[in-house]
A and B are shown apart, each in its own frame.
Chain A
Amino acid sequence: MRALALAAFGALVIFQGQARADDASSWREIETKYIFGFTTGSGIGLEGEKEFTVESIGRFGKRDGHYAASETKYEFEFTPSQFIQIEFGALGSTHNISGVTDLDDRRQVALAGAFAEFRYLAIERTSNNPLAVTLAVEPTIRRIDETGGERIRNFELETVINADLELLRNRLYAGFNLLYEPEVTKTPAGETERESKFGGSAALSVRVAPNVVLGGEVWYLRHYDAISLTNFTGDAVMLGPTLYVQFTPKMFMTAAWNAQVWGREIGNPLSLNLAEFQRNRAKLKFAYEF
């Protein structure tokens, strides 16, 4: 984590030197959707644009034992109008778990489910208004549990407000997400569990070169054993650096790393919330537009 932060800071210093020589006002505008890491920007693409992306999110570290899990989205997205973006795809997952309390030991790769996402641009940025806001809903169906990897039936409905501000033209951006994510799971034992997450994020990203954006983000997440935001079970703060690189006009990647820096579990005096969240999470996404 410290090494990553140092690397990001080093890259920032190097790119800032280069960026000072450039005039950011001459740069092309940038799509903000993917420049904030786990925080999603307001961008919805261009009307008629299609994109194929592969996005992996890895989760690492529980209270004890060894825990590494990932979920990968194989995603097609398109923008049918100047206000709507639609995405859908399949989910793959991996789990490598041993010696973790309350989780079975497991090494597996599986087709985990499917998802769709609908995004609506509610407030658009103009040269006179730096704020843009998009509303998004993402229904997801899983046959493999995200955390433990066992066979389940799970339905999740992620609803998010994605907002961003252009603080300095073509140069500095702030992003904000507000998240509500209810889900219902039928366990292998036949029980039905309801839970939800609620939280938000703030991110700051600086465009250090026309094709490179570096930044940092912080997330605050709360977990409930009910979809109605009752039965609070714990919360956590995740913090980390972000990176976005545009390789060609039609191809880019984004990466982010978040570490849990604070957390609590109700009824557990130990620090951090490692029951509902993880010590670290990482995101890596590649996209090709056509």
Chain B
Amino acid sequence: MPEQIGTTTMKAIAIASVALGLMGPLATPSRAQQATEVQLTYAKGQFQPAEISAPADKPIAIRVKNLDAKAMEFESKSLRVEKVVAAGSEGVVNVRPLKPGRYEFYDDFNEKARGALVVQ
């Protein structure tokens, strides 16, 4: 009966909503903690320095300064972030608190530009 389907549908949506609601607090980086800011420069098609470091279990803000005459896209699969930074400008990439490890990043517009964030 349509009523039965409607009831089942509503129950399922309610269960999914509750489940997602429970995920909510886990879903975003903690903004209450002060982020550790890390400076990164992009010049002549390369990241400088090519390796940056940050402490574990604290939010990180990577400030990317693009000195080149064309836009670049800071991207990382393991950090799960991407940000286009226009020529001659800077952008901030906010990253969740991370576990210790090595997290690679690159310029999505330039195959050769690679770098890594080392979290300790």
- In this assembly, does A45 line the interface, its C-beta being within 8 Å of a C-beta of chain B? yes
Q: Report the stretch among B32-40, B44-52, B61-69, B73-81 that lies at the interface.
A: B73-81
In the complex, what residues of A have CB within 8 A of residue B100's CB? Answer: 126, 128
B5 in contact with A81 (CB, 8 Å)? no
Please give me the residue from chain A that is nearest to B78 by CB atom.
A29
| Given A29-B78, A137-B19, A139-B12: A84 and B1 interface contact (C-beta under 8 Å) | no
Please give me the residue from chain B that is nearest to A32 by CB atom.
B77
Report Cα–Cα, A139/B16, bound state, in Å: 9
For chain A, the bracket of interface size reads: 35 or more
Question: Which of A29, A127, A186 has a CB less than 8 Å from the CB of B77?
Answer: A29
| Given A29-B104, A128-B101: A82 and B29 interface contact (C-beta under 8 Å) | yes
Question: Which of A28, A29, A139, A182 has a CB less than 8 Å from the CB of B13?
Answer: A139
A126 in contact with B78 (CB, 8 Å)? yes
B81 in contact with A48 (CB, 8 Å)? yes
A83 in contact with B2 (CB, 8 Å)? no
A83 in contact with B101 (CB, 8 Å)? no
- In this assembly, does A192 line the interface, its C-beta being within 8 Å of a C-beta of chain B? yes
Report Cα–Cα, A167/B16, bound state, in Å: 32
- Determine how close the nearest CB of chain A comes to the CB of B54; give it in whole angstroms: 14
Chain B binding site: helix, strand, loop or mixed by DSSP?
A: mixed
- In this assembly, does B95 line the interface, its C-beta being within 8 Å of a C-beta of chain A? yes
In the complex, what residues of B have CB within 8 A of residue A118's CB? Answer: 16, 20
Question: Which of B1, B5, B19, B78 has a CB less than 8 Å from the CB of A155?
Answer: B5
- In this assembly, does A125 line the interface, its C-beta being within 8 Å of a C-beta of chain B? yes
A157 in contact with B96 (CB, 8 Å)? no
Please give me the residue from chain B that is nearest to A26 by CB atom.
B114
B27 in contact with A48 (CB, 8 Å)? no
A184 in contact with B16 (CB, 8 Å)? no
**B1, B78, B80: most-surrounded residue (chain A CB, <10 A):** B80
- Determine how close the nearest CB of chain B comes to the CB of A251; give it in whole angstroms: 13
- In this assembly, does A178 line the interface, its C-beta being within 8 Å of a C-beta of chain B? no
**Which residues in chain A, 1-52, are within 8 Å of chain B measured between CB atoms?**
28-31, 43-49
- Determine how close the nearest CB of chain A comes to the CB of B72; give it in whole angstroms: 13
Task: Please report B residues at the A interface, Cβ cutoff 8 Å.
Answer: 1-2, 4-5, 8-9, 12-13, 16, 19-20, 23, 26-29, 75-83, 95-96, 98-104, 106, 108
Other A-B contacts than A84-B23, A120-B26, A155-B9, 15 sampled, CB-CB below 8 A, are A28-B77, A45-B80, A46-B82, A47-B81, A82-B95, A82-B96, A83-B27, A84-B27, A118-B20, A126-B78, A127-B103, A155-B8, A184-B4, A186-B1, A186-B5
* 8 residue pairs, one from A and one from B, having the closest CB atoms: A127-B101, A126-B101, A29-B77, A127-B102, A46-B82, A83-B27, A157-B12, A82-B80
